[in-house]
């Protein structure tokens, strides 16, 4: 019995560290450590959606440049069921329309591809100059509609976004504050 216990402890010590997870209303934060021979860093991610819906997410890596020079990019990730296309199509645009001012929107380009598993996937790609205005609008809003052409792709709740953003940034060693818009 003692040999099994020692073996189990050795296996646990050799396994990579597990990601940490927090929930803030409709948002969740994950922090995953990564170790290489040259470096050690964290991937910190705040996201909402999933479970069949698109995912609205932000991601930062510890050790990268951060605020005030660079802010994380919000992006939408869409995964289609097998044999179906994504609503977001290569060369199209996605529009983010916020509840607090329906005349204010941010547009992003779309990259789409077929994964190694043969599944259609797509993501939005914001222009660099839109990263901060997008984050400021997400902080101010209660929800954001995400449109691909004439189809509403997803209505993402922003409830808990500010807390999730702060936790994500803190865990990766960056400033918590988002400048006012």
Residue (of 171, 169, 145) closest to 158 by Cα position:
145
Structure tokens at 133: 């205005």
pLDDT band at 17 (very low <50, low <70, confident <90, very high): low
Which of residues 15 and 98 earns the better pLDDT score?
A: 98
- DSSP class of residue 129 equals G
Q: Is the peptide bond before 155 cis (omega within 30 degrees of 0)?
A: no
Return the percentage of the chain with pLDDT > 70, whole number: 88
Q: Yes or no: say if 130 and 108 are a contact pair by the CB < 8 Å rule.
A: yes
Residue 11 has pLDDT above 50, yes or no: no
User: Where do the domains of the chain lie, and which CATH numbers do they carry?
Assistant: 17-171 (2.60.40.1880)
Q: Write down the pLDDT at residue 179.
A: 64
pLDDT band at 39 (very low <50, low <70, confident <90, very high): confident
DSSP per-residue string spanning 130-180: GHHHHHHHHHH-SEEEEEETTEEEEEEE-TTHHHHHHHHHHHTT---PPPP
Rounded CA-CA distance 93/43 in Å is: 27
Coil, strand or helix at 15: coil
Query: Which ranges of the chain does DSSP label H, i.e. alpha helix?
Result: 2-14, 131-140, 161-171
Q: Which residues pair with 4 in a beta bridge?
A: none
Rounded CA-CA distance 77/94 in Å is: 11
């Amino acid at each position: 019995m003692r040999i099994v216990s020692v073996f189990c402890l050795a296996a646990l010590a050799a396994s990579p560290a597990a990601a940490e997870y927090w929930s803030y209303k409709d948002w969740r934060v994950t922090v995953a450590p990564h170790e290489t021979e040259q470096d050690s860093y964290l991937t910190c991610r705040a996201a909402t959606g999933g479970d069949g819906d698109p995912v609205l997410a932000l991601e930062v890596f510890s050790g990268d440049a951060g605020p005030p020079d660079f802010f994380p990019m919000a992006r939408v990730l869409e995964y289609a069921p097998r044999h179906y296309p994504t609503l977001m199509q290569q060369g199209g645009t996605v529009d983010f329309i916020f509840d607090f001012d329906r005349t204010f929107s941010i547009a992003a380009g779309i990259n789409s591809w077929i994964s190694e598993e043969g599944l259609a996937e797509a993501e939005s790609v914001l222009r660099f100059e839109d990263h901060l205005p997008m984050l400021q609008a997400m902080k101010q809003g209660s929800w954001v509609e995400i449109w691909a052409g004439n189809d509403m792709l997803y209505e993402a709740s922003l409830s808990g976004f500010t807390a999730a953003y702060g936790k994500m940034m803190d865990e990766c060693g960056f400033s918590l504050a988002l400048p006012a818009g």
